[in-house]
Amino acid sequence: MGNNDIQDKMFAEFMDFSIYDKALKLGHNYLTEAMDRHVFPQDEAITNLENFNEPFPKSSSSSNVVLDLLKKYGEPATLPHIGGRYFGFVLGSVVPASLSAKVMSAFWDQCPAMEVLSPIGSILETVVEDWLKEIFSLPEESVVGYVSGTSSAIFCGLAAARYKILRKQGWDVNNKGLFNAPKIRVVAGRQAHSTVIKAVSLLGLGKDSIEWVDVDSQGRVVPESIPDLDESTILLLQAGNVNSGSFDDFDKICLKARGQGAWIHIDGAFGLWAQASDKLKYLSKGCGNADSWSVDCHKTLNTPYDSGVVICRDKEALIDALHMSGAYIVLGKGRDGMFYTPEMSRRARIFEIWSALKFLGKQGLNQMVTGFHERALQFKKELAEAGFDIVNNVVFNQVLVRCETDELTLKTLENIQKLRVCWCGGSKWEDRDVIRLSICSWVTTEKDVSLSVKSFIEARDLAEAKA
């Protein structure tokens, strides 16, 4: 087949709308079935993935063949966390308007690195920046970068901190690097998320140099245990402990830390959205006194993957830390998104974020976020009534459950996963094995919770019967 042959073939399929209609129909069928499917693939589906292991094809195929293979062998092996009974990780479902926007904007294939590349991407990123600052009650001067997730957002926030701290001491890290640079202190709670530690490592600040701060029984930093800080310090706090869901006391910690000259970063992957709930916003009181924040939209906001946000009070520090230049770059009169993220080439994930927020509005977002907490409280009540031990204070959407012994807890968890009525994972809490429930899907109903509790009971009964 010659070059012109494949070009002609692709032109023909490019304009063959039946291909796209087929893809949309398959996607619609998947959504229709997702709510009733097992929440983890069956063993046969996993085995059938071997059908994708083949040598690189010598000849071209067709879009229909590709879709058929994905439908036959790919779809059964997906994990339908968009349903109402997946609680294994903090994975949200998808707001309908947001999913629709992703499908539509996929045809647009926009890159919002510069305004000239995507005027619509530029304006929506600007609009949503203002909305997010309002939702999270953050300083007006803050700027927003749209990245793949909280891991990237933390990296960006700490890169800005590193740049600013060293710049204050007359050291330009962009030009001089870190060799012989002044030391930067990193202070963090003992239960800081692993992505925070990864960012510290990637930025060359050294995991071994972290000054660890004691935490209380819920994983919150003990304010009195924080050492004296200074202008060379990055203080890492969190809104939403990944196990307990607890929040550090920002109101008590941040003003004092700022007064000592420290840079404060809040990891708010799923928890910062508590600010959108009238009932829960007390949890993050004082978070606006930090310097940078990281948050996911594909978690609590329920946008499709991948969708993270870095917010930084110091615009200059963020831009200079992520600086890039080139003779070919065309600066716009509006927003050029490349200055606020590490990437230049990135998809316009802003369409999903804008669509979710536009659809929900302040009232809808309040109800959705508050609903996660209500379902978590239902889990706590019904599991406790069934004799399970709830080991955390359920302040937001996380519930930690255990049985009388670690062995029984692990066997019960194994049976829950095999039963596939719901899916949750395990963790460690106070040196004990626990089952961790993360409720962050708008689809989850009271019925879903009750069905899941019945599965917990059945799983425990099976474990005890084999003991």
294-353 pLDDT tens trace: 999 999 999 999 999 999 999 999 999 997 655 545 677 888 888 999 998 899 999 999
Q: What is the pLDDT of residue 3?
A: 54
Residue 149's CATH number: 3.40.640.10
Q: What percent of the chain has pLDDT over 90?
A: 83
**362: in domain:** no
Residue 114 shares a structural domain with residue 206: yes
As a dihedral over the C-alpha atoms of residue 284, residue 288, residue 291, residue 295, rounded to 10 degrees, the angle is 50
Look at residues 80, 110, 131 and tell me which one is the last residue of a structural domain.
80
Under 8 Å between Cβ of 113 and 324: no
The last residue of a domain, from among 307, 325, 356: 356
Q: Which of 334, 356, 378 is where one domain is finished? A: 356
Would 225 be classed as within a structural domain?
yes
- 8 A C-beta contact, residue 248 and residue 239: yes
Q: Is there a single domain that holds both residue 112 and residue 247?
A: yes
Do 30 and 174 have their domain in common? no
30 found inside a domain: yes
Which residues of the chain, if any, have pLDDT below 50? 1, 328
The answer to whether the beta carbons of residues 334 and 114 sit under 8 Å apart is no
For residue 304, the 8-state DSSP code is P
Q: Which amino acid is at 172?
A: D
What is the pLDDT, as a whole number, of residue 1?
A: 46
Say whether both 256 and 304 belong to one domain. yes
> Which token pair is 331?
């600066």
Q: Is residue 127 part of a domain?
A: yes
Least Cα distance to 71 among 26, 37, 39, 28 occurs for 26
104 shares a domain with 66:
no
The structure's pTM equals: 0.94
The confidence score (pLDDT) of residue 326 equals 54
Whether residue 332 sits in one domain with residue 296: yes
Same domain for 162 and 223, yes or no, is yes
**235: helix, strand or coil:** strand
Total domains in the fold of the chain: 2
Q: Which two tokens stand for residue 150?
A: 């909280």
**Same-domain status, 61 and 159:** no
363, part of any domain: no
Q: Which has the closest alpha carbon to 337: 321, 319, 363? A: 319
**Does 320 map to a domain?**
yes
Tell which residue, 376, 308, 295, 391, has the closest CA to residue 343: 308
- Domain hosting residue 247, numbered range: 100-356
Residue 436 lies in a domain: no
Q: Are residues 112 and 69 in the same domain?
A: no
- Asked, for residue 65, whether it belongs to a domain, the answer is yes
Indicate whether 276 and 342 sit together in one domain: yes
